[in-house]
Amino acid sequence: MTARLLIVGPQGSGKGTQGVRIAQAFLVPAISTGDVFRANISEGTELGRQVQAIIEAGNLVPDALTSEVVRDRLAQDDAAAGFLLDGYPRNLAQVADLDAFLDARGETLDAVIELDVAREESIARLTKRAEEQGRTDDTADVIAHRLSIYESETAPILGVYRERGIVDAIDGVGTLDEITERILVALIARGLSPEA
């Protein structure tokens, strides 16, 4: 069945990992704006050149550029029967852009997965990831900056979606399997059925 999903959570909440797992369960593409940007940076594309310094500083890429990337990606065939967006929308302007794209297609979001972890836990996980993966935006200062942008710009989008009654808040502390199970239980309770 179709499922149009968002996963929202602070840096280090595990939303990337869980997003991929949930997308696989629903047979829809997981679309991460951060991954799209990082791929463009490593391929040295024009987009990559435009966003590299912004991402390394932990700032948000301008909305117009980000929304264009998402609109183009959603226009691809594999997103026709649903998608899971990870890392977009990230502020209220992007919520409005996404609403406009979906309206034009006669579509609406089915559910927004809010992955909750405490700030200290996020920082501990990101510090560990910095050691393992060496992402250039995982230094202590940039992590703190990204978390503060999450709190000031991204967390407010949950209020909009809560008013629409589509948010499932999930405890993001536990094993990967436990968290996936919690998300699936919440989505099934909404009448969405995974394919696998």
Q: Which of 21, 90, 125, 182 is catalytic?
A: 90
CA distance 158 to 155: 6
8 Å CB contact between 33 and 83: no
90 binds ligand ADP (CB under 6 A): yes
Q: Which of 4, 15, 125, 182 is catalytic?
A: 15
C-alpha to C-alpha distances, 181 to 9, 25, 176, 184, 189, nearest whole angstrom: 17, 11, 9, 5, 12
Active site residue 128: no
Closer of 9 and 82 to ligand ADP (Cβ): 9
Closer of 54 and 186 to ligand ADP (Cβ): 54
Order of strands, sheet of 167-171, starting from the edge strand that comes earlier in the sequence? 30-32, 82-86, 3-8, 111-116, 167-171
Closer of 146 and 182 to ligand ADP (Cβ): 146
19 binds ligand ADP (CB under 6 A): no
Active site residue 164: no
Near ligand ADP by CB under 6 A: residue from 40, 94, 122, 180? 94
CA distance 158 to 90: 10
Site of tokens 């503060």? 148
Q: Which of residues 46-85 bind ligand ADP (CB under 6 A)?
A: 54-55, 58-61, 66
26 binds ligand ADP (CB under 6 A): no
146 binds ligand ADP (CB under 6 A): yes
Closer of 55 and 74 to ligand ADP (Cβ): 55
Near ligand ADP by CB under 6 A: residue from 14, 29, 82, 87? 87
User: For the residues of 122-190, what is the DSSP string, one character each?
Assistant: HHHHHHHHHHHH--TT-SHHHHHHHHHHIIIIIHHHHHHHHHTT-EEEEE--S-HHHHHHHHHHHHHHT
Site of tokens 């968290």? 179
CA distance 6 to 188: 15
Active site residue 162: no
Q: Which of 4, 125, 146, 182 is catalytic?
A: 146
Q: Supply the residues annotated as catalytic.
A: 15, 90, 129, 135, 146
Q: Which residues bind ligand ADP (CB under 6 A)?
A: 11, 32-34, 37, 54-55, 58-61, 66, 87-88, 90, 94, 137, 146
